[in-house]
Amino acid sequence: MEKILDEKQQGNTLVMEPKASNNRKLFIESYGCQMNFSDSEIVASILYKEGFNTTQNLEEADLVLVNTCSIRDKAEQTVRKRLEKYNAVKRINPNMKVGVLGCMAERLKSKFLEEEKIVDLVVGPDAYKDLPNLINEVEEGRNAMNVILSKEETYGDISPVRLQSNGVSAFVSITRGCDNMCTFCVVPFTRGRERSRDPQSIVEEVNDLAAKGYKEITLLGQNVDSYLWYGGGLKKDYKNASEMQKATAVNFASLLKLVAEAQPKMRIRFSTSNPQDMTMDVIEAMAKHRNICKYIHLPVQSGSDRILKKMNRLHTRQEYFEMIDNIKKLIPDCGISHDIITGFPTETEEDHQDTLSLMEYVKYGFGFMFAYSERPGTMAERKFKDDVPEDIKKRRLTQIVNLQQEHSRYNTKKYLGKTAEVLIEKESKKSDAHWSGRTSQNTVAVFPKENYKIGDFVNVKFEDCTSATLIGVAVGYSDNY
């Protein structure tokens, strides 16, 4: 499962270079995971060709699109609140049309049109190519909807406009959907079956980003380790179809190598890994290629074998430890982060202690922690009672968050007095005299700007830290790049 950025009140609005001949205005904002942000870039690219420029000003929009998240109830409530805001704006600008994209669109389908009168358009994550037709319908005064999930659609042929970009790092999606069926998770229902994108189109997109000056890419998928592409190659070289498929199959480790070798001067990241699908050859590829970042987001969800089983996570606590040991053996300085859910149905104090002790063993660099939120239609909702009281969920969550903070500090402190490479991404939020970037391990680092610029790879010597941020001074350009 991929990383959720946050559930704040306003989503990230996306803006791109306007085209003079475009005369309609699109306001598009995204909530939830990186995949949604990446999808919004695909949507904007499709609509750019239909005469829409983006705007950050809601009041002047002809079309408002909100790309939504269903992962927890709170995420959905945030979107409902935004719809109220659109409603208020529509009073001033009655011609404005409103569309809902993404996971909530897929989950609620026509209910959206019934429940929220402000909504004119409902489009699921696999139907964005149909947007031009759907918008025509809306403009003719009808509500429109397409929530058909696909077994093929990967948007591999669309080159996304980079809306949220700092010109340094970009997301490249490699798989869509998820077949894992973790019992708490709504994603398999909202994003459909898992499918992988043609490696050729992935490498082409990466090469294109490199040519445009990008320095880092993140390969995105709900479950990147299950990436698998069959096909390609010349038929005449093989005796039969199955031999051809075997010989030309590309798994995630080979895709990583392909991308890393195509652009040795670019940093390569990926998200999200799944412990049950991650293989040693992925770790080996990371260890072998300098430009693959030494960082793995490896959600565990719980440290209790009993709960893992109920969650349909197909690994045990012991197997997870073995995976961690292997990572640390091959990549001693690897940054590792997690997702953890507290208060899954039937979770006891002992199960919770198992989660805390698992965290003690791994000592994660950071993590994303959530109280269990029952999602309609999931296996957990159908089979288990949401029986851990909210106050206990919250107390356990606080304990986990506090322990994580200790571990983050422990990991960050290890870098004091040391030098590591940082890719400069932006100005520091706290000081316009400092740059902000990340180390290979994905730790945020800030340092005085001097004459360096955004996109530079710089060696930084760390002198101070907070629990999550390294503070230092640049000692020169990194000669790696």
| 116 forms part of the interface with ligand 5AD (CB under 6 A) | no
Q: Looking at beta carbons only, is 263 or 274 nearer to ligand SF4?
A: 274
Q: Looking at beta carbons only, is 341 or 422 nearer to ligand SF4?
A: 341
Three-point CA angle 285, 287, 290, nearest 5°: 95
| 183 forms part of the interface with ligand 5AD (CB under 6 A) | no
| 107 forms part of the interface with ligand 5AD (CB under 6 A) | no
Q: Looking at beta carbons only, is 154 or 274 nearer to ligand SF4?
A: 274
Q: How far is 221 from 267, CA to CA, in rounded Å?
A: 17
| 370 forms part of the interface with ligand 5AD (CB under 6 A) | yes
Span from 26-34, 176-184, 342-350, 417-425 in contact with ligand SF4 (CB under 6 A): 176-184
- Taking CB under 6 A as the criterion, the residue among 126, 153, 339, 354 binding ligand 5AD is 339
465 annotated binding-site participant:
no
Tokens found for residue 8: 């704040």
Q: Looking at beta carbons only, is 89 or 187 nearer to ligand SF4?
A: 187
Q: Looking at beta carbons only, is 29 or 339 nearer to ligand 5AD?
A: 339
Three-point CA angle 173, 177, 181, nearest 5°: 140
Q: Is 353 exposed, middle or buried (0-12, 13-18, 19+ CB in 10 A)?
A: middle
| 274 forms part of the interface with ligand SF4 (CB under 6 A) | yes
Nearest to 276 by CA among 310, 302, 312: 312
* Nearest-10 Cα torsion for 427, 433, 437, 443: -120
Contacts of 64 (CB under 8 A, 6+ apart): 26, 27, 28, 58, 86, 89, 96, 97, 98, 99
Alpha carbon distances (Å) from 13 to 31, 65, 163:
10, 10, 9
Q: Is 123 exposed, middle or buried (0-12, 13-18, 19+ CB in 10 A)?
A: buried
Q: Looking at beta carbons only, is 225 or 425 nearer to ligand SF4?
A: 225
Q: How far is 71 from 377, CA to CA, in rounded Å?
A: 12
371-400 footprint of ligand 5AD as x/- string (CB under 6 A): -xx-x-------------------------
Q: How far is 453 from 30, CA to CA, in rounded Å?
A: 29
Q: Find out whether 98 and 130 touch, Cβ atoms under 8 Å.
A: no
Largest CA distance in the chain: 67
SS3 for 464?
strand
272 cis-preceded (ω within 30 degrees of 0): yes
373's contact among ligand 5AD, ligand SF4, none, with CB below 5 to 8 A by partner kind, is ligand 5AD
| 174 forms part of the interface with ligand 5AD (CB under 6 A) | no
Which position's Cβ is nearest ligand SF4? 1
Span from 30-38, 43-51, 173-181, 429-437 in contact with ligand SF4 (CB under 6 A): 173-181
- Taking CB under 6 A as the criterion, the residue among 104, 122, 185, 209 binding ligand SF4 is 185
285-324 footprint of ligand 5AD as x/- string (CB under 6 A): --------------x-x-----------------------
- Taking CB under 6 A as the criterion, the residue among 16, 123, 163, 182 binding ligand SF4 is 182
Q: Find out whether 357 and 305 touch, Cβ atoms under 8 Å.
A: no
334 annotated binding-site participant:
no
CB of 181 to ligand SF4, least distance (A): 6
| 82 forms part of the interface with ligand 5AD (CB under 6 A) | no
Q: Looking at beta carbons only, is 223 or 441 nearer to ligand SF4?
A: 223
- Taking CB under 6 A as the criterion, the residue among 34, 38, 222, 378 binding ligand SF4 is 222
Q: How far is 111 from 39, CA to CA, in rounded Å?
A: 23
Contacts of 366 (CB under 8 A, 6+ apart): 337, 404, 408, 468
Q: Looking at beta carbons only, is 97 or 375 nearer to ligand SF4?
A: 375
CB of 4 to ligand 5AD, least distance (A): 5
Question: Helix 317-330 vs helix 280-288: angle between axes, to the nearest 10 degrees?
Answer: 20
| 275 forms part of the interface with ligand SF4 (CB under 6 A) | no
293 annotated binding-site participant:
no
- Taking CB under 6 A as the criterion, the residue among 187, 268, 283, 324 binding ligand SF4 is 187
| 286 forms part of the interface with ligand SF4 (CB under 6 A) | no
327's contact among ligand SF4, ligand 5AD, none, with CB below 5 to 8 A by partner kind, is none
Q: Looking at beta carbons only, is 66 or 300 nearer to ligand 5AD?
A: 300
Nearest to 167 by CA among 216, 220, 218: 216
Tokens found for residue 472: 């230092």
Q: Find out whether 218 and 171 touch, Cβ atoms under 8 Å.
A: yes
Q: Find out whether 120 and 138 touch, Cβ atoms under 8 Å.
A: yes
Tokens found for residue 383: 């089979």
Residues in the interface with ligand SF4 (CB under 6 A) total 11
Residues that bind ligand 5AD (CB under 6 A): 1, 4, 71-72, 184-185, 299, 301, 339, 341, 370, 372-373, 375
Residues that bind ligand SF4 (CB under 6 A): 1, 178, 180-182, 185, 187-188, 222-223, 274
List residues forming the annotated binding site.
33, 69, 103, 178, 182, 185
